[in-house]
Amino acid sequence: MKTEKQALVPRLRFPEFRDAGEWDFRELDDACEVNPSNSTLPKSFVYIDLESVEAGQLIKKKNISREGAPSRAQRILKNGDVIFQIVRPYQKNNLFFEFDNDENYVASTGYAQLRAFGSEGFLYQVIHTDDFVARVLSKCTGSNYPAINSSDLAKVHLAIPVPDEQQKIADFLSSLDALIAAQADKIDALKTHKKGLMQQLLPREGETVPRLRFPGFLEAGEWVDQELENMAIRGSGHTPNKKYPSYYNGGIKWVSLADSDKLDKGYLYKTKNEISKEGLQNSSAVLHPAETVVLSRDAGVGKSAVLHTPMAVSQHFIAWRCDNAKLNNWFFYYLLQRLKPELESIAVGNTIKTIGLFYFKSMVIAAPSVSEQKNIADCLSSLDSLIAAQADKLEALKAHKKGLMQQLFPSPEDLS
């Protein structure tokens, strides 16, 4: 039985456009000029390559001369242009170009340059819809680095309303983008504040007292160098034999290099992999108690965390159970965070950088009394809690925008 074709209208529409009719379903080059012709490169310019843009923001500026420019530097940008990442387009690292300065900007041919016939802001928003990106990906070639050429991109279809509705949607979503950017800036400011505070609360290299001390500890004297082995019980890790499936997926959380993205965030709550009681018993792996501090000594050298629940670790990690009478575990975690650049610098190896066990056996740290340690740890952890709360707000804003976009843009699947 033939079904009636669904009208191409969004589920959510501004009141003044509810009777404006269907959206048009057009090819991209009906909505914009793709790779407009350019003149000679300027003598000097900011070069935008595929590493320069992230989440709609220009994160890196490379000032180069015409003579030193790579052959891929071809897209001379004008305010209002949109550059679309044609390599791995699912990353959505596109940019709405709008800079209020006198510098020249040129983008790499890793981007398609789009110059809108209608609302520039609408064009930028619509190319980020899941529907449009899916259509682009269906025309991509390559598996590891899927890419689309500009001529194929120009023929990808998208849904477009009348110009006034385009602008209304663009203004609304750009205001949400401004909120998201402001929230991200707030998080960056808090992280910068924390970094500066750590530099004040922990002595600098060659110094024995911090620049900033809490009341009650102003006359507490110098921090004392102590051997870590006398302040915490060091534990090891191991990988159960992977030939035996029964050694895995048994409910015991097991920290491995697969969890690198979860480190440096305070508590470690979950692990990507689990081992079984049988795997624990038939290997050198050890179940470390909650509140143990763990540190990666291989790939991701210097990343650390505090175990929220009992977990085992792989041989790529060192684990310390702190003696509460000598070393506060959270103070030690923040101290390791401060030492991370030093740990990265001493790691050796060609393919995978690593730090030998001997370094940790002879490791010496400077520490004040346990009560002062706790004050420092509590201060920094409260900042971390604030940063985490603000990060949750940021994710909520992003989710809100994504949900609105699904409502504001029709899905033309049945029309393709």
Write the CB contacts of 220 (distance below 8 Å, at least 6 apart in sequence). Answer: 213, 368, 369, 372
Query: Residue 127: its pLDDT value, please?
Result: 97
Distance CA 76, CA 40 (A): 9
Query: Residue 144: its pLDDT value, please?
Result: 84
DSSP sequence for 393-411: HHHHHHHHHHHHHHHHS--
53, β-bridge pairs: 58
Distance CA 75, CA 77 (A): 6
Query: Residue 134: its pLDDT value, please?
Result: 95
Query: CB–CB of 354/348 below 8 Å?
Result: yes
Do β-strands 293-296 and 62-65 pair in parallel, antiparallel, or remain unpaired? unpaired
Consecutive 10-residue runs of the chain (416 residues): their mean pLDDT?
63 94 95 93 95 92 93 95 96 93 93 97 96 95 91 96 96 96 96 96 91 94 94 95 96 95 95 96 95 93 96 96 94 96 90 89 95 97 96 97 95 60
Tokens linked to 218: 């102003």
Query: Residue 415: its pLDDT value, please?
Result: 52
Q: Structure pTM?
A: 0.85
Distance CA 30, CA 70 (A): 31
